[in-house]
A and B are shown apart, each in its own frame.
Chain A
Amino acid sequence: MTAATDQLAAPRVRMDPPRPPSKNRYALFRTLKYAGLIFFLVVVLIPVYVLLVTSFKGTGDADPSRAWAFPQIWTLDNWVTAWTALSPAILRSVAVVVPSAIIAAFLGSLNGFVLARWSFRGADLVFTLILFGMFIPYQAVMIPLNQLILDLGIPTGVPTLIMLHVVYGIPITTLIFRNYYMTVPHELIEAGRVDGAGMLRTYWSIVLPISVPSFVVVLIWQFTSAWNDFLFAVFFSSSQNGPVTVALNNLANGALLQNYGVSMAGALFASLPTLLVYIVLGRYFVGGLMSGSVKG
């Protein structure tokens, strides 16, 4: 449909600039543009500055007049406090995110394969019905979901959250894989069929090996969204058994009156894993973003 979709085809997103203009008559325009770019760069980074500076401040810097100044004495106290408070929750986040990302990616891959390349009548309708699950406001299922989880006897906290991220991750993972498999040449799969390979065999020996880039995109996407999830976490866990978002929110609520430094340090701890993924695997991250939005 669009360029964004084409880029999904090859999940690496390349944004090659068009050819440079030959004439130099836009000097003023260009200066203004750079000024604008740098201005916005600074604006976007303001919260980062605040976070870093505040997290190193001690109690001596509490006066509002020093709000934007560097710490008088740089201290790691806030960091230690935040780490002590959050580290168990960070581990629980890992315990939630890793299995749910893997399971959801695998299910999505199976679905995507069937819907794209082993299609049947009504497959498009099935796909659209699955996709709708991606957009629903989860508020519209929370009350009975709560009851269902009680009935199933699944303990709140990590087990419940794993299940929820798998289930509600299916639509997006299916979408990404389906769009990717749509670009796999028919011949490749037909070749398998002619050789008498069944569906599972085709999937296993032909499709799965070429799915690695999509798996990276999907795993990153699931990792990020499950790590950053707060809605399910706040409904189905507490600060004792919940992930880092809930723990951070509680920490910020408790400390907010005097000590922003601790919650700022905590916010950074809570964001580090996803930030690292973004920095190291940025182009795959963007690939996930694109596919999350544009249906092909």
Chain B
Amino acid sequence: MLNKLRRLGPPLLLLAPSLILVGVFVYGLIAANFTTSLTDNHTAAQATGQEPAVFVWFTNYLDLLASEDFQHSLMNLVLYTVVFLAGTMVMGFLWAWMLDKPVKGEGLFRSVYLFPMAVSFVASGVVWRWLLNSNQDEQASGLNRLFQMVGLDALQNNWWNNVTFGIIAIAIPAIWQLSGYVMALFLAGFRGIPNELREAARMDGASEWKLYRYVLFPQLSPVALSALIIIGHMSLKAFDLIMSISKPANYQTKVPAVDMFVFKSSFDYANAAAVGSILLIIVALVIVPYLIRTNREEKR
């Protein structure tokens, strides 16, 4: 017993501050949040504890999921995620593929493609709000004006002001910011493939396409998975860009994270907590299997 304590004691002691912090601020708060989401804490008086909140169990969740307003947010989230994922994966792969073989000025291209990653969504949102201005024709500025200047007038559109697809316009700056990141991942993946493997495949007479299909793609799939997970979970948390480009009150581009902010601002803590929990569940569905999988792989 004493021996065990001596062996386990020091590591646990060293970990203790972090374990307590993560325990309280992650798991404790998740539990507290879930509890709040099960109450009727919808008013400022209840939020500040002046009036009691009563348990209503899953009523908030059912009401939220049944409301057209929240369904719109979920739909937006799906659209945004699909476009954001597809955009970053395609661009990131394309850039990595173009830069994989020796290219003059590779460093320049790489640095420029990656730099938006260093900028905050709020700062880039300032510029993209200008670029995605919905005015058209005479009044057009931003991208709509640029389209006119290069003779692509037909491409003019009202961007994030479209009720159904406006959210896709928000995905454009997100793609701009994170494609470089996916590129960096893929590039590292490409460069991690031993040259002998390519040589061997070529020796065996594999065509360029077959080389990719049977040799390179399988080698890249762990990288692709990582990229999908990272971009996917970022996408589910989408908030900053929307706050900065279209503002939280905007129906067209709202997603659950924005709803949560609006609920919180109006002291509807129960619904804010419920939206938070729903987001957590969605993210966990993606992340937990991934964490378990990598954990297992590591043990092998």
Binding site for B on A (CB under 8 A): 1-4, 6-7, 13, 15-21, 33-34, 36-37, 40-41, 44-47, 50-51, 54, 64-65, 67-68, 107, 110-111, 113-115, 118-120, 123-124, 126, 128-133, 135-148, 166-168, 170-171, 174, 198-200, 203, 224, 227-231, 234-235, 245, 248-249, 252-253, 256, 260, 263-264, 266-268, 270-271, 274-275, 277-279, 282, 285-286, 289-290, 292-296
A167:B118 contact, CB within 8 angstroms:
no
B122 CB contacts on chain A under 8 angstroms:
228, 230, 245, 248-249, 267, 270
Q: Give Cα A144 to B39, complex, Å.
A: 13
For residue A250, give the distance in angstroms from its CB to the closest CB of chain B.
10
Residue in B11, B128, B283 whose CB lies within 8 Å of A118: B11
Known: A20-B102, A234-B243, A245-B122. A3 touches B188 (CB 8 A): yes
If over half of A's interface residues share one DSSP class (helix, strand or loop), that class is named, otherwise mixed; here it is helix
Residue in B14, B18, B103, B243 whose CB lies within 8 Å of A249: B243
* Residues 213-231 of B contacting A (Cβ, < 8 Å): 222-223, 226-227, 229-230
Residue of B nearest to A249 (CB): B122
In the complex, 16 of the A-B residue pairs with CB atoms within 8 angstroms, ordered by the A residue number, are A3-B188, A3-B223, A4-B188, A17-B100, A50-B130, A50-B131, A51-B126, A51-B127, A132-B291, A133-B25, A137-B280, A139-B239, A144-B273, A230-B121, A267-B124, A293-B181
For residue A217, give the distance in angstroms from its CB to the closest CB of chain B.
14
Residue of B nearest to A248 (CB): B122
A4:B192 contact, CB within 8 angstroms:
yes
For residue B277, give the distance in angstroms from its CB to the closest CB of chain A.
6
Q: Give Cα A171 to B243, complex, Å.
A: 26
B124 CB contacts on chain A under 8 angstroms:
47, 267
Known: A2-B223, A140-B30, A167-B21. A33 touches B103 (CB 8 A): yes
Residue of B nearest to A203 (CB): B14
Residue of B nearest to A148 (CB): B29
At the interface, yes or no: B89 with Cβ under 8 Å from chain A?
A: no
If over half of B's interface residues share one DSSP class (helix, strand or loop), that class is named, otherwise mixed; here it is helix
Q: Give Cα A59 to B10, complex, Å.
A: 65
Residue of A nearest to B139 (CB): A64
* Residues 30-58 of B contacting A (Cβ, < 8 Å): 30, 32-33, 36
Residue in B14, B138, B185, B294 whose CB lies within 8 Å of A199: B14
Q: Give Cα A19 to B194, complex, Å.
A: 11
Q: Give Cα A279 to B114, complex, Å.
A: 11
Residue in A135, A264, A289 whose CB lies within 8 Å of B283: A135
Q: Considering the complex of A and B, which 7 residue pairs feature the smallest CB-CB distances, nearest first?
A: A3-B192, A228-B120, A144-B32, A140-B280, A67-B141, A141-B29, A278-B118
For residue B154, give the distance in angstroms from its CB to the closest CB of chain A.
19
Q: Give Cα A37 to B149, complex, Å.
A: 22
Residue in A119, A266, A277, A278 whose CB lies within 8 Å of B126: A266
A110 CB contacts on chain B under 8 angstroms:
14-15, 18
A295:B243 contact, CB within 8 angstroms:
no
